[in-house]
Amino acid sequence: MRFPWLAAHEVNRYARPLAGLERPVRVAHLSDLHIGYYVDAKIIAHWVEATMAQKPDLVVISGDLTDTHRAEWIRPAVAELAGLEAPLGAWAVWGNHDYRLRRYKSRDLSDLQGWLEQAGVRVLNNAGVQLRDDLYLAGVDDLWHGQPDVSQALKDHREGAVLLVCHNPDYFFEVPAKVGLTLVGHTHGGQIILPILGPVSTSSKYGKRFAEGWFEDPVKGFVSRGLGVSTVPIRFRAKAEIVIHELHPG
């Protein structure tokens, strides 16, 4: 573990209704792992263990799983995600940093997707799956470097609540009303929050508006501060988090 302090995190729990649910579901929301030079396999194993201690029904990862094009750093860390065992599975979407892997020999994300699938994590890229008769999970591509298409992701929805996972909160404005809750990351909660000034950067064109937490406008959504770091191995007043959503019939 090169940067042991980066393993530190908090577990935050929220209970919310989700229209269309007929019985509760516990969702572990991870985001922005940023596997690379700073975040290695040992840190990922620590986060996986902490997640499994919460006994989730479902695990979702809202993008930026990686932060490098170097396969020798990515593969052993991704392998640790095999520990994310949940009755409804472990699912992920792409973030902008994942597209850095295009510098690798494959020139696309097929290698990363293959490594994730070997670990039991399935990617929802403009796709959806009916997890239960009362719960549909959808995921869209990254807003910056991909081609997100929420209509395509929702085309197989027939009944029940709709939970959408995407990376960037700026996509909130494209989410249709039939989606009951949208889970995102990307901002790191600012990663470094200065007194008075607030977040140094959220990488959002809306500035601090979607820095972290719950939102009702323009859609019902939650922005996670995520777990990893980008650019510098420091978080200040923006603690890494594993989020547990206790969703119940609304």
- Taking only the tens place, the pLDDT of each residue in 115-158 is 999 999 999 999 999 999 999 999 999 999 999 999 999 999 98
Residue 193: which residues within 8 A CB-CB, separation 6 or more? 199, 200, 236, 237, 238
CA distance 209 to 220: 14
Q: Which residues of the chain have pLDDT under 50?
A: none
CA distance 77 to 134: 33
pLDDT of residue 100: 79
Tokens found for residue 224? 């996670």
- Taking only the tens place, the pLDDT of each residue in 88-106 is 999 999 999 999 777 665 5
